[in-house]
Structure 1
Amino acid sequence: MIKVLIAAAEAVPFAKTGGLGDVIGSLPKELIKQGVDARVIMPNYQDIPEGFKSQMVFKNHFFVQVGWRQQYCGILEFVYEGVTFYFADNEYYFKRHGFYGYGDDAERFGFFCRAVLEALDKIDFMPDIIHCHDWHTGMISVLLDAHYREKPKYKKIKTLFTIHNLKYQGVFSQDILHDILSLDWKYFTPEGVEFHKAVNFMKGGLAYADMISTVSRTYAKEIQDPYFGEELDGFLRKRQNRLVGIVNGIDYAVYNPATDKLISATYDVDTIENKKKNKMELQARLGLPVREDVPVIAIVSRLVSAKGLDLVERMFQDVVKQAAIAGKDTYDIQLVVLGTGEARYENFFKYMAWQYPGKVSANIMFDEDLAHQIYAGADMFLMPSLYEPCGIGQLIAMRYGCLPIVREIGGLRDTVRSYNQEICEGNGFTFVNYNAHEMADTINWALKTFQDKECWNKIVKNAMLSDYSWQKSAKEYKETYQKLIKQA
């Protein structure tokens, strides 16, 4: 049996800021079903709910070398839904609100990276592979090479480093090379962790991991291009033979319209007509006119530029204006927004809701219950991203028969098949260029298709039957693990 320790900074249900938490909460469950002994290690943050903390069991403790300092680390264990989670405990680093964004993040996650390696001997679990996720764990492969590789138990351990978003790299002053990581200058090179005379955690993972993966096939290609490569494209091209793209999945037990207790009426691909009950309930809850004939377009997202919201800002007011005076060549619509982010976009959607109270509902917050109700009640899901490593929203939307309108980029291109009006196939609507007019044309194309109920319901069924569960993705990860183990 393959033994894998998954190292990450967050995991649902303990800590989540984005899609990384969802992945780490779901992937190990499916790996275990497929015969992999997969376990997870993460920091023991203060903000982990007390209901979980009270069930954690003390496993062991040891001291971690952080430069010239010896720092305490306790390991707590908790088995959740069949997955063993280990929590690296140090109050100095992790007893504070939030997970990232502190001035000493280099030291906090430098400590965590070394604690992961030190823990292996103490938790009675020596993995075949350490599967590292994003910059917070990037130094694990480097530290393994520098401080542990000569130890007999560590000699055969392989590492896989997964990029969830190349934009966030963990770049810190070169002072941390010795003072925190205890690394020799030989690691501070263009082929190592050096990046504009600073230390780059992400680059460390890319340089020293035995294999690299990212969260979609298209993104794996895109990041080798300067436009998407965040100044690491040349480095990734050099390692392209060790780079694979594996699309994320979603937890089909959590996102299932047939059993979802958070929505008004459950439904499946054979009872799609029940979806309209959710639509009417959503409209009533948000103070919109309860009309089955009006298409509801949803945005459930972080309200940030990367999500393509400047395109929405540029064109959507025109679309809503048209809807407000819906005539022969225009279509009435309702827009529902849920999320928080940059003040610019929060204020834009608030203004839209004030200007068009019967057309726009701006919910500047995040509410998991409301998110489920929006996916179940909306007809379309707008996601015109500037870049998108994988994307989770479009996968959830399709699961609920809410058809995505997306730009063909990254994981959106890999998961949404554009509607073909000649044969009425596809599972959503797509456009190619990052252009507001092209997005508006695609929205109007979807609105026109919505009028043909027979064809629309067929596309909805296609979307609901698209398989983006973790089963296929976990199988690809297992195959990657097997290749790693066979490598000399």
Structure 2
Amino acid sequence: MRVLFATSEVAPLIKTGGLADVSAALPAALHRMGVDVRILLPGYPQVLKALPHLQVAAKISIQSSFPAARLLAGSLPNGILLLVIECSELYERGGGAYQDEHGLDWPDNALRFGLLSKIAALLSCADSPLDWKPDIVHCNDWQTGLTPAYLHFSDGAIPCVMTVHNLAFQGVFPSQTVAELALPAECFQPDGVEFYGSLSFMKAGLYYADHITTVSPSYANEIQTDALGFGLQGLLAYRREVLTGILNGIDTTEWNPATDPNLAHPYDDTDINGKSFNKRELQKRMGLRIDPDLPLFGLVSRFTHQKGVDLVLEIAPQLIAIPAQLVLLGNGDVEMQRTALELSHHYSGQISAYVGFDEALSHLIVAGADIFLMPSRFEPCGLSQMYSQRYGTPPVVHATGGLIDTVLDSNVATLEQGVASGFVFHSMDTSSLLATARRAAMAYHDKKTWRALQHNCMIKDFGWNQSATAYHDIYMHLMRR
């Protein structure tokens, strides 16, 4: 089986969120199953710099507004084959994958990701410039959402899978973009790419793809509702027969407390005592009072409304009055960043915040904290709650999306069954979050219960094998049609 995996980011080359992690891990898992998978990615400066030995595989010349491009071939450090779109006019610039240095969307994002979608479709049709032709093209989020539309109007097209990683981001552009991107005029209608008078990349993918997946079973249900459908709930409900929720996995090699080089001391489920050394190191590094008995809450997140960080900042004084400590790592909303730093200054020794991103520190927080906070308002899948469980750090989570699919609330029944793995709250407000945090802190002081809870967390299998098998089954079903 040959699969073209089209994406706008791949770790460690270019990363803005969980999509990059999935785009690295899922192809690797499929490769281990014997799938001939190749990743298609834009040639951002970070990508070209990290892969200086790419070879020209084809020249691409597409009509309409698209500039000329070249297709470069190479491989990731793990050996997965990579196809990189070299187009200096669209991709080789400062800033990030989607925004400039000031955090503003690139004004030509429609063209930038229209080209990515167009080339993904081109490689999947009869007139592909490569000798290699996939059996399936797998698209990811709005940046590749036009691929199914291009395929629908092409000759010799193959089946297409569209994965929604976060429906909140949809790639909506003015109606005149349809002609600029060489889409047929007839596709611009409600039964097509039109979305309230504009062109929606995401809607195009959802409408024309042969199969749709999301990154957790609960999120697949949630996006069919008014609350989390972001205007596309009707289309998703209409296509529910070809909509599947498949939980993401995590990289269990990178996230392994027994071998993690970012930790002060390795540990595993058979000897968890090393976790206390990491707690001490975290307290020391972040300027917190060294105290092994105080429960230490940790948060690693983008500072956004979606992630519920505002609720954590609001209850921070009550949280440390439990008594407890709090450490925060992340960036994003300027007001949240300011509040986090003010709390850190005002409650020195009890609260510590690092504004920015530090990969090594994120690992140490996951290992050194006693309880992990992840109160997202919505969470398509989430990875951090899986990282924290693997490191024996039970999470406090809101009952939504992938969080409710991966965390079982600790109560008498789940503890007796040996499946409790965290603390879940259902009302998205400060009182529910604080009450659940207090419940977690109380459990922390019951050492026998806490050790059982940590054990439940650490023995869970969050690897990619089961998820990759589910995707493989979908590919096989589409090929047999």
TM-score (norm 2): 0.95
Q: Which amino acid aligns with 1:465?
A: I
Per the TM alignment, residue 49 of structure 1 is displaced from its structure 2 partner at its CA by 6.5
In structure 1, C-alpha distance between the alignment counterparts of 2:205 and 2:221, rounded to whole Å: 18
Describe the superposition over 1:85-126 as per-residue Cα deviations: whole angstroms up to 9, x where unpaired.
110110000011211120010011111211223345233221
Q: Which residue is equivalent to 1:21? A: 20
Corresponding residue SS for 2:454: helix
Per the TM alignment, residue 209 of structure 1 is displaced from its structure 2 partner at its CA by 0.3
Q: Which amino acid aligns with 2:44?
A: Y
Corresponding residue SS for 2:47: coil
Q: Is the 8 A contact 1:55 1:78 kept in 2?
A: no
Describe the superposition over 1:151-172 as per-residue Cα deviations: whole angstroms up to 9, x where unpaired.
xxx34x1000000000100000
In structure 1, C-alpha distance between the alignment counterparts of 2:204 and 2:266, rounded to whole Å: 47
Q: Which residue is equivalent to 2:480? A: 486
Question: Relative to structure 1, is the Cα distance of residues 291 and 15 closer, same or farther in structure 2, using a 3 angstrom cutoff?
Answer: same
In structure 2, C-alpha distance between the alignment counterparts of 1:68 and 1:280, rounded to whole Å: 57
Q: Is the 8 A contact 2:121 2:148 kept in 1?
A: no
Which residues of 2 match residues 28-177 of structure 1 at below 5 A?
Answer: 28-48=27-47, 50=49, 52-65=50-63, 67=64, 71-97=68-94, 98-100=96-98, 101-119=105-123, 121-146=128-153, 148=154, 150=155, 154-155=156-157, 157-177=158-178
Q: Is the 8 A contact 1:303 1:341 kept in 2?
A: yes
Is the counterpart of residue 260 in structure 1 residue 251 in structure 2? no
Q: Is the 8 A contact 2:67 2:87 kept in 1?
A: no
Q: Which amino acid aligns with 1:132?
A: C
Corresponding residue SS for 1:64: coil
Corresponding residue SS for 2:38: strand
Q: Which residue is equivalent to 1:458? A: 452
Describe the superposition over 1:273-301 as per-residue Cα deviations: whole angstroms up to 9, x where unpaired.
11101111111111111111111100100
| Identical aligned residues as a percent | 37
RMSD of aligned alpha carbons:
1.3
Q: Is the 8 A contact 1:76 1:88 kept in 2?
A: no
Q: Which residue is equivalent to 1:448? A: 442
Question: How many residues were matched structurally?
Answer: 468
In structure 2, C-alpha distance between the alignment counterparts of 1:86 and 1:249, rounded to whole Å: 24
Q: Which amino acid aligns with 2:276?
A: K
In structure 1, C-alpha distance between the alignment counterparts of 2:250 and 2:414, rounded to whole Å: 29
Describe the superposition over 1:312-366 as per-residue Cα deviations: whole angstroms up to 9, x where unpaired.
233222222x2xxxxxxxx321101000010111111111101100101100010
Question: 406, 413, 435: which is aligned to 2:429?
Answer: 435
Q: Is the 8 A contact 2:56 2:70 kept in 1?
A: no
Q: Which amino acid aligns with 2:438?
A: N
Question: 458, 465, 468: which is aligned to 1:471?
Answer: 465
Is the counterpart of residue 355 in structure 1 residue 362 in structure 2? no
TM-score (norm 1): 0.94
Unaligned runs of 5+ in 2: 99-104
Q: Which residue is equivalent to 1:4? A: 3
In structure 2, C-alpha distance between the alignment counterparts of 1:247 and 1:441, rounded to whole Å: 28
Q: Is the 8 A contact 2:331 2:357 kept in 1?
A: yes
Q: Is the 8 A contact 1:8 1:24 kept in 2?
A: yes
Corresponding residue SS for 2:289: coil
Question: 390, 397, 402: which is aligned to 1:406?
Answer: 397
In structure 2, C-alpha distance between the alignment counterparts of 1:69 and 1:249, rounded to whole Å: 36
Describe the superposition over 1:409-449 as per-residue Cα deviations: whole angstroms up to 9, x where unpaired.
00001000111235624000001111210111100000000
In structure 2, C-alpha distance between the alignment counterparts of 1:94 and 1:7, rounded to whole Å: 16
Corresponding residue SS for 2:256: coil
Q: Is the 8 A contact 2:41 2:84 kept in 1?
A: yes
Q: Which residue is equivalent to 2:196? A: 196
Unaligned runs of 5+ in 1: 323-330
In structure 1, C-alpha distance between the alignment counterparts of 2:71 and 2:379, rounded to whole Å: 37
Q: Is the 8 A contact 2:329 2:356 kept in 1?
A: yes
Describe the superposition over 1:193-234 as per-residue Cα deviations: whole angstroms up to 9, x where unpaired.
001110000000000000000000000000000110000000
Q: Is the 8 A contact 2:145 2:205 kept in 1?
A: yes
Q: Which residue is equivalent to 1:325? A: none
Per the TM alignment, residue 54 of structure 1 is displaced from its structure 2 partner at its CA by 1.3
Q: Which residue is equivalent to 1:328? A: none
Describe the superposition over 1:387-428 as per-residue Cα deviations: whole angstroms up to 9, x where unpaired.
100001101111111110001100001000111235624000
Per the TM alignment, residue 58 of structure 1 is displaced from its structure 2 partner at its CA by 2.2
In structure 1, C-alpha distance between the alignment counterparts of 2:59 and 2:238, rounded to whole Å: 40
